[in-house]
Amino acid sequence: MARARGRLVRDIADQGVFDGEPEWREAFAAVPRHLFVPSYFGPSAGGWRRMWGEDPDPGRRRSWLEGVYTDTPLATRLRDGELLSSSSQPSLMARMLAELRVRDGDRVLEIGAGTGWNAALLAYRLGSAHVTTVDLDPDITDSARRHLDAAGLHPHVVTGDGARGCRADAPYDRILATCALDTVPRPWLEQTRPGGLILTPFATGLVRLTVHGPDRAEGRFLPTPAYFVPLRGTEPRTAGEPSAEGVARHVLDNERFRFLLTLTAGRLTPAEALEVWQREHHPVRERFGLTADAGTLTAWLDDPEGPYRWRLT
């Protein structure tokens, strides 16, 4: 297992994720993923098959371990064939943690406990007393606690609505969401110190917001695409396929155009999105940003006060 873990850490390091962040390389090397995914579901003939570490067949156990220490997301909880929870792709987790820009002594709130591995990495880096993770599903939080106990790490695991944050442990220096939302909940702003950061998936991307007070936060998208299970009880903007009406297939297949189309869904028609796309020379993700201000959410291109602004809520 140590050899497989070391190989995964090297694979992530080869992508440049740990450059300038040696503390995160140390955390990934020290916190074993297999403790957090004792079983997962792999695709099989149009369905799923369970892989687990205590399978009596040695070949299937090897397959389980190989999957655990491969740089890929793993489906960990299903209900009626629907994915409820997963262990995110390790390199994406590493990128998000690096982009969170934590410092010693920071307090972090994670929205979406998942398997507990992300909270474990944060707890290893910052200390368990500085990390809180929240999930709505008691089955998920119960299993996350067991996994964390097995790893000898004890962040505060809370069963509750992630959109409400966790006021009991506030204020936070950083909030990290590992589930997709269609807004930036106001309690997150209220529970983050001014100057703190919120990193959250939004519209198939990741946006990093600087909090300026209990009513306002603003920031840009990162270059990295991101697809996450939605926050329980929400219907995120990423749901479904963007309409192809009036757009050539080769354009719709462009991942960056699909990001623009998803970000502005309901505000721009596909033809209007295509016009922006062509006029602005196929803008990359990091030219876009979000402003949360007094209960409204506005997406923009290049400049929060510029000509391309779309009020989302």
The last residue of one of the domains, among 185, 202, 221, is 221
The answer to whether residue 226 sits within a structural domain is no
292 burial via Cβ count (<10 Å: 0-12, 13-18, 19+)? buried
CATH number for the domain harbouring residue 39: 3.40.50.150
The answer to whether residue 238 sits within a structural domain is no
**DSSP tag of 287:** G
> Do 183 and 300 share a domain, yes or no?
no
The answer to whether residue 300 sits within a structural domain is yes
> Do 165 and 217 share a domain, yes or no?
yes
Q: pLDDT band for 240, please (50, 70, 90 cuts).
A: very low
Mean pLDDT of the chain: 92
The answer to whether residue 100 sits within a structural domain is yes
pLDDT of residue 238: 44
pLDDT of residue 228: 84
pLDDT in tens, 209-230: 999 999 999 999 999 998 887 7
> Do 162 and 305 share a domain, yes or no?
no
- Whole-angstrom Cα distance, residue 175 to residue 111? 8
The answer to whether residue 60 sits within a structural domain is yes
Mean pLDDT of 118-146: 97
The answer to whether residue 231 sits within a structural domain is no
For 15-76, give the DSSP string: TTTTTT-HHHHHHHHHS-GGGT-SEEEEEETTEEEEEETT-SSHHHHHHHHHHHTSSS-EEE
Q: Is the pLDDT of residue 121 over 70?
A: yes
> Do 43 and 110 share a domain, yes or no?
yes
pLDDT in tens, 154-195: 999 999 999 999 999 999 999 999 988 889 999 999 999 999
Beta-sheet pairing, 156-159 with 205-213: unpaired
pLDDT in tens, 148-161: 999 999 999 999 99
The answer to whether residue 239 sits within a structural domain is no
> Do 214 and 253 share a domain, yes or no?
no
Q: Is the pLDDT of residue 242 over 70?
A: no
The answer to whether residue 241 sits within a structural domain is no
Instruction: Identify the residue with better confidence: 114 or 242.
Output: 114
> Do 26 and 145 share a domain, yes or no?
yes
Which of 85, 87, 91, 143 is labelled catalytic?
85
The last residue of one of the domains, among 176, 202, 221, is 221
> Do 302 and 179 share a domain, yes or no?
no
Percent of the chain having pLDDT more than 90? Answer: 79
> Do 197 and 271 share a domain, yes or no?
no
Percent of the chain having pLDDT more than 70? Answer: 95
> Do 115 and 254 share a domain, yes or no?
no
pLDDT in tens, 88-105: 999 999 999 999 999 999
pLDDT of residue 191: 98
Mean pLDDT of 268-279: 94
- Whole-angstrom Cα distance, residue 166 to residue 28? 26
Q: pTM (2 decimals)?
A: 0.92
> Do 212 and 66 share a domain, yes or no?
yes
**Which tokens belong to 143?**
């299993």
pLDDT in tens, 13-45: 999 999 989 999 999 999 999 999 999 998 877
The last residue of one of the domains, among 175, 204, 221, is 221
For residue 87, give the nearest of 119, 48, 114, 125 by alpha carbon.
114
88 is catalytic: no
pLDDT of residue 234: 55
Number of independent structural domains in the chain: 2
- Show the domain range for 123: 2-221
> Do 130 and 188 share a domain, yes or no?
yes
> Do 173 and 114 share a domain, yes or no?
yes
Instruction: Identify the residue with better confidence: 236 or 4.
Output: 4
